[in-house]
Structure 1
Amino acid sequence: MKAKHLVGALIGAFVGIIGLLWLLQGMGILRIRPILCIANCEEIVGPSPVWAVSGLIALVIGAILVFVSMRGVRRF
């Protein structure tokens, strides 16, 4: 496996995991308090369509990055 395939797959997996987290928080399934706040940080109370859609978009982009990165890898 080449380094560029590995880096692309890792970045895609990271984006996908963050997208899944946002999606679950936006749907109201998962609640996590803010970890690092700069200004005016509050928990999302209840479902948030904006975060759900943002999470779905990030999840799809992450999956596409993993797929494209792993497409050129030959398996034995």
Structure 2
Amino acid sequence: MNAKSTVSTVFGGIVALLGLLWIVQGLGIVQIDPILCVADCEPITGGSVQWTIVGVLALFVGVAIVRWGRDV
């Protein structure tokens, strides 16, 4: 494994895990209070279709980056 594939695999893994977190938050399975807020931030409560969709997209992009990084 060269440096480029290692960086791609790690970055893709982080994106995929973040997408998974957004999915479970969007479905209302997990509720995490905001950590760093610059405006009037509120936690996601009761699920959110928008965050579920964004999470699914991020998960697919992360997996694609990992697969691409392993092929390089």
TM-score, normalization: structure 2? 0.96
In the other structure, the counterpart of 1:65 is 65
Unaligned runs of 5+ in 2: none
CA distance in 2, matches of 1:67, 1:29: 28
Who wins on radius of gyration, i.e. which is larger?
Answer: 1
Distance in 1 of aligned mates of 2:69 and 2:11: 10
Q: Which residue matches 1:27?
A: 27
- CA distance in 2 between partners of 1:4 and 1:60 (Å): 20
Deviations 1:20-67 (A, max 9, x none): 000100000111000111001001110100000000000000000001
RMSD of the alignment, in Å?
A: 0.7
- Given residue 8 of structure 1, which amino acid in structure 2 is its aligned partner? S
1:7 counterpart residue number: 7
**TM-score of the aligned structures, taking structure 1 as reference length:** 0.92
Q: Which runs of 5+ in 1 are unaligned?
A: none
**Identity of counterpart residues, as a percentage?**
43
Pair 1:43 & 2:64 matched = no
Aligned length: 72
Quote the offset at 1:71 in angstroms: 1.9
Runs of 4+ in 1 over 4 A off after TM superposition: none
